[in-house]
Amino acid sequence: MAGPQPDGEVTVIVVTWEGKDLALEALASLERQTIRHRVLVVDNASTDGTREAVAARFPLAKVLRLNANRGFAGGVAAALAEIDTRFVALLNNDAVADPAWLEESLALFGDPAVAAVTAKILLSQATPHPVINNAGVVLLHSGYGADRGLGDVDMGRYAEVANVFGFSGGAAVLRTLAVKAVGGFRDDYFMYYEDTELSWRLRLAGWQIRYCPRAVVTHIHGASAGPGSPMFATRTEGNRLRMLWSHAPVTFAAAATARFAVTTASLTVQRLSGRPPVSPVLDSRLRWRLLGSVLTEIPRLLIDRWGSGTRRDRQRVFRHWRGVPARTLES
C-alpha cells in the first residue's frame, strides 16, 4: 500500500459474508489510505466468489476463509489469532474509508492509555448534509449501548476529539495487545454488541477509548442484516442482556431482565388479543425463547465476570459512563 510506514504497523480486518461487491468497494478505499498497512479479509464461507474476486483485484490482501459463517464477532476473533502487528483496525465490508482514516486514527495513540480510536461514521444515504451514523458508543441509562449521534446532521457538534464509552466495530483502530490482554472478541455474540461488550472490558481494565472526528468513514446502515429481521432481533436483544450480566452491577442486570420479561408478557397479551407484532423485536414468542436462553447462561456469565474487573471497577465504570454521551479529554 502507498504511503510512509507508520510508527507501529496496522492490520485492517474486513469481515464479509455474501457481500462481494460491497467488500471490493471497502478494499478499494483501503488502497487509497495515506499510510501503509496490511489487509486481512475474513470470508465467512461465502458462495458468491468473494475469495476469488479479492485475490484477483487485491493480490496483496490476505484472505482467511472460514468453513462456516461465524458472524462479525467470530470472524474478527479468528483474524486476531493471525495478527502480530501493534495495531488492528476494523472496517465493515459495507463501509468506505476516507484516505486519511488510518493516519488520523493512529495519531491519537500517542497517549499510551488509549486502547481504541473510533471513527466518525456517516450514513451513505444521499442527503443535503452529511448525517451521523456513529460518533462512538454511548452507555444509555438502560445500560444498553447506542450509536452516539445517530441521525444528527453533521454540522459541527461532533467536531472535537473526545473520550467515549465505546468504539464502533464498523470503523475503529485498536491496540492489539490491549485487546488480546482482555480476552479479545467474544465469538459467541456472532454480531451486534460485540464491540460494546469489548469496550466494557477495556474500560474495566483501565484503558481509554477516543473518538476521532477527522477519521471519517461512510457506511451503508443495515446492509449486513436489516433492523427488522428476526436475526437482528435475536442477536441485539440477547446480546444486550448477556452484556449486562457480564459487566453491569448484578442488581441492575436483574432489574433489566425483569423489565424485559414484563414487556414480553405485555406483548403476549397483545398477540393473544389479535394484535400481531409489527416487528420481530416485538414478537413475544421470539422474546420468550431468547429470555429462556439467557437465563440458562446467567450462572456461566456470573462466573466469567470475575475475570474482568472487580465489583468496585464495575461500579466505577457504570457510574462514570451511564447516560454520558462523551467526556472532554481532561475529565
**CB atoms inside a 10 Å sphere around CB 185:** 23
Sign of CA dihedral 230, 234, 235, 237: positive
The Cα–Cα gap between 310 and 319 comes to: 14
The residue whose grid cell reads 441492575 is 252
pLDDT of residue 229: 74
pLDDT of residue 119: 98
pLDDT of residue 220: 84
pLDDT of residue 331: 59
Residue-level length of the chain: 331
pLDDT of residue 226: 58
Closest CA to 76 of 63, 62, 90, 61: 90
pLDDT of residue 1: 39
Q: Where are the domains of the chain?
A: 10-219, 230-308
pLDDT of residue 221: 66
What residue ranges of the chain have pLDDT lower than 50?
1-8
Closest CA to 254 of 71, 262, 7, 138: 262
pLDDT of residue 277: 86
Q: 3.50.50.60, 3.90.550.10, 2.30.30.240, 3.30.420.40: which CATH number matches 10-219?
A: 3.90.550.10
Beta strands per DSSP E along the chain: 10-16, 38-43, 62-65, 87-91, 95-97, 114-123, 132-134, 137-139, 145-147, 162-163, 171-175, 208-219
H helix runs in 81-155, sequence order: 101-107
pLDDT of residue 7: 44
The Cα–Cα gap between 309 and 293 comes to: 25
pLDDT single digits (tens) 173-184: 999 999 999 999
The Cα–Cα gap between 188 and 216 comes to: 29
pLDDT of residue 230: 77
pLDDT of residue 227: 60
18: DSSP letter: S
